Structure 1
Amino acid sequence: MKQNRNRRQARLYAFQSLYAKEFHKAEDIISVPRAEEVNPTQGMDVAYAEAIIQGVEANKMTIDALLQSHSPKRKISQLGAVERNVLRLATWELTISDEAIDPRIIINEAIQLTKDYGAEKSYKFVNAVLDAIAKQKVKTSALPED
C-alpha cells in the first residue's frame, strides 16, 4: 500500500496535539495514532506528524528563544496558545527539521492555521516572525564554511 504523504493534515494534527498539551496533563492526551490506526482516506503523513510533535517538544526552549529574538516587543509566553504553537511548529520545520521543504510552503501553512484557529489578525504577526526566521536562515546558510 502506497503511503499518502499529506503534510497539511500532519501539520494540523501536530498543531492540535501541541495545543492540547498546554491545557492537559500528558497522560490525558491521546498520542498520535500509528500508521495502521489512521484511516487511509484521511491520508495523513503519520510519521511526519510524530516528528513535528516530538521535535517541538524536545526543542521547545531553543525554539522559544529563537522566536523571542524575532519578537522583542511581544513575549512568546504571553501570545495566544494558537499563535505560540503555530509559531513553534513552523519554526521547527524551518530551522531544525531535516526535511527539505520550501520555506514559503511552511509559512503559508502556518498562516492558514492561524487564520483558521487564531485571533482575527494574528496571522500578520505569525507571517512577520516566520519570514524573519526564514530570511535569517538563508543568510546563515549562505555563509562560507570554515
Structure 2
Amino acid sequence: MSRSRSTARKRALNTLYEADEKGQDIRSLLQERIAEPGAQTPLPEYAIQIVEGVAEHRKEIDHLLNDHSTGWKVWRMHVIDRNILRIAAWEIMYNDDVPDKVAIDEALSLAKTLCDEEAPSFIHGLLSAISADKAKDAEAASEAESAAETNA
C-alpha cells in the first residue's frame, strides 16, 4: 500500500510541477493527463486525489506555507520544493487517512532524491511546524468542546 502511495505522490508531483512550470491551470493539465497519459501508465487514483486536493486548496495551502516559512515565500521557492510542500501540506491538513509523520517522511524522501541538499531540512522544519500547529488547534478545539459539555 505505502509503495503504491509513494508512486502516486511522485506522479502527482510530476503533474503539479508541470502545471507550475507552464503556468497552466492544475485541473486542466490533470484532465489532459487522465485523457492522454502518453508514454506513462495511467495516473493512479491517489495521484488524482492529491492533484485535485492541492488544486482545490492551493490558496489555503500556500498561505499556510507562507505563514510557517522563515525567509522564503512560496513564490520564491524552487518549483520542485514548492510542490513537494504543497502535497505534504494537503495530506497533513486535508487527508485524515495519512498520518502527519508519514506525509512528512514521504516529502523528505522526494526531497532527498529531487532537491538540493538544503531542501530536506527546510521542508522538514516547515512541515513539522504545520503539523504541530494542527495538533495544537485540534487540542484547543477538543478542550473547548469538553468545557462546553461540562457547562451544559
TM-score, reference length from structure 1: 0.82
Is 2:33 the counterpart of 1:31? yes
Which residue does 2:124 correspond to in 1?
Answer: 127
Which residue does 1:100 correspond to in 2?
Answer: 97
Which residue does 1:115 correspond to in 2?
Answer: 112
Deviation string for 1:64-119 (max 9, x for gaps)? 0000000142111100001100000000000012x322211110110011111111
Say which SS state the counterpart of residue 21 (structure 2) adopts: coil
Q: How many residues are treated as equivalent by the alignment?
A: 136
Contact 1:32/1:49 (CA < 8 Å) preserved in 2?
no
Q: Choose which of 53, 56, 59 in structure 1 pairs with 2:54.
A: 56
Listed as ranges, the gaps of 5+ residues in structure 1 are none
The residue type equivalent to 1:77 in the other structure is W
% identical aligned pairs: 29
* CA positional deviation for 1:4: 9.4
Q: Choose which of 69, 83, 86 in structure 2 pairs with 1:85.
A: 83
Say which SS state the counterpart of residue 73 (structure 1) adopts: coil
The residue type equivalent to 1:93 in the other structure is E
Separation of aligned partners in 1, 2:29 and 2:107: 26
TM-score, reference length from structure 2: 0.79
Ranges of 4+ aligned residues in structure 1 off by more than 3 Å: 25-30
Q: Choose which of 6, 12, 15 in structure 1 pairs with 2:13.
A: 15
Separation of aligned partners in 2, 1:138 and 1:118: 28
More helix by share: 2
Contact 2:21/2:79 (CA < 8 Å) preserved in 1?
no
RMSD: 2.6
Mark the structure with the bigger radius of gyration: 2
